[in-house]
Amino acid sequence: MPAPRKYPQEVRERAVRMVFEVREQTGNAPGAIARVAQQLGVHREALRGWVRQAEVDGGQRPGTSTADAQRIAELEREVRELRRANEILKSAALDSNDQRNTASGWVDRGSDGSAGDVGRDERGLVAAVARG
């Protein structure tokens, strides 16, 4: 869960809009961010980050847009869930296979009497593949 935001979204949008207006009026003179930040009581670096992100979202600056970043985060979350589900399914399939093979006598016994790794089904498959 992300940390709570210190400034409301309305303040962020207004501040960014004001910076763009001041830049337009002054011909991109330096200090627009500092002046707007002081007027609104917003930290200068926070406002600088908001302006930079607005420029990326507007296509004026290279970088990852907000929409793309959200989509990437959603996809990463989905990948994590799918990998976890796959591990659960693999584990369940292996457990089910072990129980079925042991119950039906399909487990190959090693020379020491312990259950071997290869059952009759697997040996038949290996032989079929070897015959090609």
Q: What separation in angstroms does the CA of 109 have from each of 56, 84, 114?
A: 65, 33, 6
User: Rounded to whole angstroms, how far apart are CA atoms 62 and 49?
Assistant: 14
Nearest Cα neighbor of 60 from 14, 15, 20 is 20
Q: What is the pLDDT of residues 54-107, one digit of tens each?
A: 999 999 999 999 999 999 999 999 999 999 999 999 998 888 777 776 665 555
The answer to pTM > 0.85 is no
Q: Which amino acid is at 87?
A: E
For residue 109, report the phi and psi dihedrals to the nearest 5 degrees.
Answer: -90, 135
What is the distance in angstroms between the CA of the first residue and the CA of the last residue of the chain? Answer: 54
Q: What is the pLDDT of residues 19-59, one digit of tens each?
A: 999 999 988 778 999 999 999 999 999 999 999 999 999 99
Top pLDDT among 131 and 47 is at: 47
Give the CA angle between residues 32, 55, 20 to the nearest 5°: 35
User: Rounded to whole angstroms, how far apart are CA atoms 108 and 122?
Assistant: 10
Nearest Cα neighbor of 121 from 110, 113, 105 is 105
| pLDDT value of residue 50 | 96
For residue 115, report the phi and psi dihedrals to the nearest 5 degrees.
Answer: -70, 130
Structure tokens that stand for 17 in this block: 């809009």
